[in-house]
Structure 1
Amino acid sequence: MAEASVKVRPGIGPLSSSVSTQAGVGIRSDLERLYREQGDRLWRAVFLYSGDRELAGDAVAEAFAQALRRGDSIESARSWVWHVSFRIAAGMLKDRRRTAALPPEGTYQLADEAPDLTAALKTLPPKQRGAVVLRYYGGYSIKETAAILDSTPAAVGVHLTRGRRRLRTLLEERDA
């Protein structure tokens, strides 16, 4: 998988501060506000993608830590943090598959309003699962989803179509 690429313009975007001496404070407060607004939703999306509470927490925390280190060089903090969280989670899942370690006990348990949907999402291939979660849970457009997944809108469209078809089949089988 290609390394994450992020468009950056120093001094531009929601994390920039007009007074350089206050830049650190402004960046921190902007990220704190973003975390309060998006943190739970982002964690939930990464959890739905990965199926692992600890991994989701680690990925989200690391993404916000990286955003803080990058400071005002990030053009769109919200999109950047979502993108990086998913990239970190994907890397952690890839590492886990390489080591073939068993997940910790209770990793896949979560009180959920839609347990059948959550279980069905776990069966989708990673690209389909990522596209479905970002588009329908994260609320991103196809173009934004493609940017977060480092893909093309056409590929995301294919993943969404196949993912929806597979979810429909799985959920109908469970209802039957």
Structure 2
Amino acid sequence: MEKPESAKPLLSLKLDGTEVPAVEASAADMEVAAGMDVAAGRTSFSEFYASSYQAMLALAVMLLGDRALAEDVTQDAFVGAHRQWARIENPTAYLRRSIANGATSQHRRRFRDRRRPSPREESSALEADEMFDALSTLVPRQRAALVLRYWFDLSDAQIAEVLQVRTGTVASLIHRGLQELRKVVKP
């Protein structure tokens, strides 16, 4: 497998003694994360990893707000996918679900004994860090639903599949999440 010249390795994953390099996410890679599923029989795990790692890492970063934790969750998801590769019908959906579950587990660990941060009084134009702060005030499922909807343009049905909830629950999570964000982000 030949890397494009513009691709720079960011992180590598070792599976069965073989190092699989990660590459920068391209527009095509982002389409994979947005729902253009790759059939398990059509590509090798190495090719799937190389083409989708950055997009899946971006999802994890948006869900967690912490790159180091996101890298761990993403790597764990790919390791799990590698173990189940022959049985996975929809690798993209499997990874999104695995990353969402991993992010939820990380939130539980990180915020078990932590109180919710108080809302910011002043924020006319949110910068990226401020957006992560605002998102961190949400419960993990609301945050996941909003990230999947507004950053990855997934439909209610796709979000429901990733979060393993009903589509009506997705609509409710998004509605309540937006209400909470409006309280935190006042004009």
Q: State whether TM-score is above 0.5.
A: yes
Aligned to 2:14: none
**Aligned residue pairs: how many?**
139
- Residue 16 (structure 1) aligned with residue 36 (structure 2): no
Structure 1, unmatched stretches of 5+, are 1-12, 18-22, 102-111
Task: State the partner residue of 1:28.
Answer: 46
Distance in 2 separating the partners of 1:120 and 1:43:
20
What is the identity percentage for the equivalent residue pairs of Structure 1 and Structure 2?
Answer: 27
Q: Is the 8 A contact 2:57 2:74 kept in 1?
A: yes
- 1:3-55 deviations in whole A, cap 9, x for unaligned? xxxxxxxxxx61215xxxxx8xx2322232222xxx2x432332232233221
Distance 1:91 1:118 in 2: 18
Greater per-residue helix proportion: 1
Match of 1:79 in 2: 93
Q: CA deviation at 1:113?
A: 4.7
Aligned residues of 1:27 and 1:68 also touching (Cα < 8 A): yes
Q: SS where residue 16 of structure 1 aligns?
A: helix
Alignment of 1:23-62 (within 5 A): 26-35=44-53, 39=54, 41-62=55-76
**Which one has a larger percent strand, Structure 1 or Structure 2?**
2
**RCO greater where, 1 or 2, for CA within 8 Å and sep 6 or more?**
1
Query: CA RMSD of the aligned region, Å?
Result: 2.3
Q: Return the TM-score normalized by structure 1.
A: 0.69
Contact 1:131–1:156 (8 Å) recurs in 2: yes
Which residue does 1:129 correspond to in 2? 143
Shift of 1:94: 2.1
Conserved 8 A contact 1:31-1:68: no
Inter-partner Cα distance in structure 1 for 2:107 and 2:134 = 18
What is the SS of the residue equivalent to 2:104? helix
C-alpha change, 1:115 and 1:92, in structure 2 (3 Å) is closer
Indicate conservation of the 8 Å contact 1:16/1:73, yes or no: no
Report deviation, 1:83.
0.8
Cα deviation 1:64-110 (Å, max 9, x = unaligned): 11112211311111111111011112123323445x59xxxxxxxxx
Structure 2 segments unaligned to the other structure (5+ residues)? 1-37, 115-125
* TM-score normalised to structure 2 length: 0.65
Letter of the aligned partner of 2:71 in structure 1?
A: G
Aligned to 2:108: 94
Per-residue CA shift, 1:129-148, capped at 9, x if unaligned? 11101111122111110111
- Partner of 1:5 in structure 2? none
116-125 vs 127-136, which moves further: 116-125
Structure 2 counterpart of 1:142, one-letter code: D
Partner amino acid, structure 1, of 2:167: P
Matching residue's letter, 1:135: R
Distance 1:166 1:82, change over 3 A: same
Aligned equivalents of 2:66, 2:172: Cα separation in 1: 26
Aligned residue identity for 1:30:
F
